[in-house]
Amino acid sequence: MSPQIWWYVARAAGVIAWLLLTASVLWGILLPAKVVDRLRPAWILDLHRWLAGLTVGFVVVHLGALVADTYIHFDLVDLAIPFVADWKPIPVALGVLATWLLVIVELTSLAMKRLPRRTWHRIHLASYLTFFLASLHGTLAGTDAANPLYQVTSILAVVAVVFATLFRIITRRRRPTPGAASSPGSRDEPRPVSPPSAPRPLEPTGY
């Protein structure tokens, strides 16, 4: 077995984790938008959670392989505390911060039902920062950063997240506010009483 096998595993797991994070963030941005309205809410929410869980799993593999590797020596302290590692301390620190943010977002998502909606949403917005920190970490610290395929993929991922975010902001602003369609004099007019309808299932919300 090659003595650098763990280095190859760390590199592969890191790239896969970043791609899964990109997909999870994109799906979370578009999840409440009209582009996925025709899909089952429970199904699209499960996919988002599944992608996030896979991201955490591959991050664990990435960190474990770095500790097991003898090509560049890392210990648990290097991977848990920013700016401690001797090898590329700033790029590695970006990865450490992204990892901690990912853990916080994932844990609060699992405890979403026990947290106030506003608190959960504010913490969940850290997913944007997690993505950009992880992207910078891969570009500055990754051995594959000089690979043209990796460079093109990185550019496409960042552009996709930025455009998806802008699309989400635009579609959110276009939503009609309650009562906006009613005329100013309609308050004094009696409204017809409609029969009660069956309760609609709770739709998932994204970023």
Output the pLDDT for position 203.
Answer: 42
* Cα angle, residue 66 at apex, residues 63 and 70 outer, rounded to 5°: 160
The CA distance from 8 to 62, in Å, is 10
Residues sharing a CB contact under 8 Å with residue 33, sequence separation 6 or more, in sequence order: 167, 168, 171, 206
Structure tokens that stand for 197 in this block = 């309808």
Output the pLDDT for position 89.
Answer: 95
Output the pLDDT for position 9.
Answer: 95
Amino acid letter, 28:
G
Amino acid letter, 128:
Y
The stretches of the chain forming alpha helices (DSSP H) are: 5-30, 41-68, 76-80, 89-110, 117-124, 126-141, 148-173
Amino acid letter, 131:
F
Output the pLDDT for position 181.
Answer: 45
The CA distance from 7 to 14, in Å, is 11
Output the pLDDT for position 138.
Answer: 94
Output the pLDDT for position 41.
Answer: 59
Output the pLDDT for position 201.
Answer: 43
Output the pLDDT for position 183.
Answer: 41
Structure tokens that stand for 168 in this block = 């989400």
Output the pLDDT for position 182.
Answer: 43
Query: What's the average pLDDT block by block, 10 residues per block, for the chain (207 residues)?
Result: 83 96 90 60 78 96 94 91 94 97 94 91 94 96 90 95 89 59 44 48 49
| Contact between 16 and 58 (Cβ < 8 Å) | yes
In the block, residue with structure tokens 């996709």: 160
